[in-house]
Each structure stands twice: as C-alpha cells, then as structure tokens.
Amino acid sequence: MAGVKDLYTKEMVGYAINKRMTADLVCKALNMAIKNKRPSQGLIVHSDRGSLYCSHAYHKIIKQHQFTGSMSGKCNCFDNASIESFWCILKNELVYHQDYKTRFVAISDIIGYIELYYNQTRIQKSLGYRSPRQVWFNFYRQAA
C-alpha cells in the first residue's frame, strides 16, 4: 500500500493498494490525491528516499503539476513520522485484528477504514481532538 497524507488535516488524501510496491503504485496514490484535492502549484510533496519515490514517473507527475518535491534526509526517520504513524494505526486498529480470506476483502476493509473512519470520524489529539474531516471543513469555512 502507498499513501499520501495531508500534513495540515492529517487526512489520507490518496492511496493505492496492490500485490507489490512499485513505482506505478506510488504514482496512483499521488494521482488520487491530486484528483481528490486539486492542490495548487507550489505544493510540497514529501516522501522517503525509497526507489519508488525516485522514479522518473513519480517525479514527472510532480513536475507536471508544478509541485515541489521533498525527500527525507539520509538516516532521518523523523521526516516521515506522520505517514509512519498512520501505517501503525491502520495495522493496530484494523489489520492485526482480521483474518482476511481474500485480497479483495482486505482491500475493501482498508478502504472503508480510511474513508469512513480514519478521515471522517477518528479524532486525533494533534488536531485538537477533531477528525481530519472536521479540520478540513473548518479550514474551508474560514477561507470563504
């Protein structure tokens, strides 16, 4: 699974799931985030230093949309703490408690968790005990 997380709202704005981690998978997650949120030019897209995020295809998307690419420093695990925290939460609150019989069932369950629970309902201390969707809604309401 590859994911794109908004660091302001803590919302998972893009994700993709497949049998293997490939450059295409991270491109799909980034494209989903772009389609869902339509960010403006200059957006900083941060990732770790993995080969998937160094691919030409991934950087082509960043350049095409006039975003700024950012990568973790060497041996700096703190740069990606936010997305790593999400993976830990997903595993501890959902995946480790299931015995998925098929990949389809696992994917459906994970998507439901992200879309219906994590983004909309799950409160987070760092968001003032609000959900990512509440933070997103308040941001756009104040901007209007």
CATH number, domain containing residue 29? 3.30.420.10
Distance CA 16, CA 107 (A): 10
pTM of the model: 0.92
> Do 52 and 24 meet the contact criterion of CB atoms below 8 Å apart?
no
Strands 68-71 and 44-47: what pairing?
A: parallel
> Do 98 and 109 meet the contact criterion of CB atoms below 8 Å apart?
yes
The token pair that represents 60 in the structure block = 């082509």
Q: Exposure of 132 by Cβ count < 10 A (0-12 exposed, 13-18 middle, 19+ buried)? A: buried
CA dihedral of residues 44, 49, 51, 35 (deg, nearest 10):
-20
Distance CA 3, CA 77 (A): 17
pLDDT in tens, 69-102: 998 877 776 778 899 999 999 999 999 999 999 9
pLDDT in tens, 28-78: 999 999 999 999 999 999 998 888 999 999 999 999 999 999 988 777 767
Radius of gyration of the chain (CA): 16
Domain around 89: 2-143
Give me the number of domains the chain comprises. Answer: 1
pLDDT in tens, 21-37: 999 999 999 999 999 99
